[in-house]
Amino acid sequence: MAKNIWKEAIEEQLEITGLDAMEYKDPKEALYHLINYQMEGAYNEGQKESRWKDAVMDELMCWYIYKKEHENNPKKAVHDLIVLHSEVAIDLYKRDRWYRRVRDKIRDIWYSTPISYKLWKICGNKQPPF
């Protein structure tokens, strides 16, 4: 009776993993394939996890903000990357805003002078340089 329980357990796992298509006559072979399949799956999962970690660590190193604490604290590592990218975006926005204000001021000065109107009259319907 005990042997049937073990056989049923192995057959159930073979069915779950999809390895039941091959009919095993030897229980050791079936168990070997089942264990090999599950070990390979665990290894692949570890590789996927490692690729994510490597990508985050590479990004931290590229920006020169890597710290030893990032190795063991993935939330801190990802948080630091997000903060860095947010600061870069805000800085670029502020620079662009400053540039736009200067450009608009130059444009206002240019169009407030009579020279721009005279150039517009000379050139026809083409606009002056700004």
pLDDT digit string, tens, across residues 28-39: 777 777 777 777
**pLDDT score of 13:** 78
Would the pLDDT of 129 be above 70?
A: no
Domain closes at, from 47, 62, 77: 62
Whole-structure pTM over 0.85, yes or no?
A: no
Q: Is 72 found in the same domain as 57? A: no
pLDDT averaged over every residue in the chain: 78
**pLDDT score of 69:** 92
The tokens describing 52, both together, are: 């994510």
Q: Of the ranges 17-21, 35-39, 68-72, 81-85, which one carries the lowest mean pLDDT score?
A: 17-21
Q: What mean pLDDT is predicted for residues 120-126?
A: 66
In the block, residue with structure tokens 């700004």: 130
- Count of domains in the chain? 2
For 45, half-sphere exposure in the C-beta direction (CA atoms, 13 angstrom radius) is 6
To 5 degrees, how large is the angle CA 32–CA 34–CA 38? Answer: 115
The 3-state DSSP class for residue 130 equals: coil
In the block, residue with structure tokens 């049923």: 8
Rounded CA-CA distance 51/46 in Å is 9
Q: 110: pLDDT confidence band, cut at 50, 70 and 90? A: confident
Domain closes at, from 15, 30, 62: 62
Domain closes at, from 13, 31, 62: 62
What domain range is 11 assigned to?
1-62
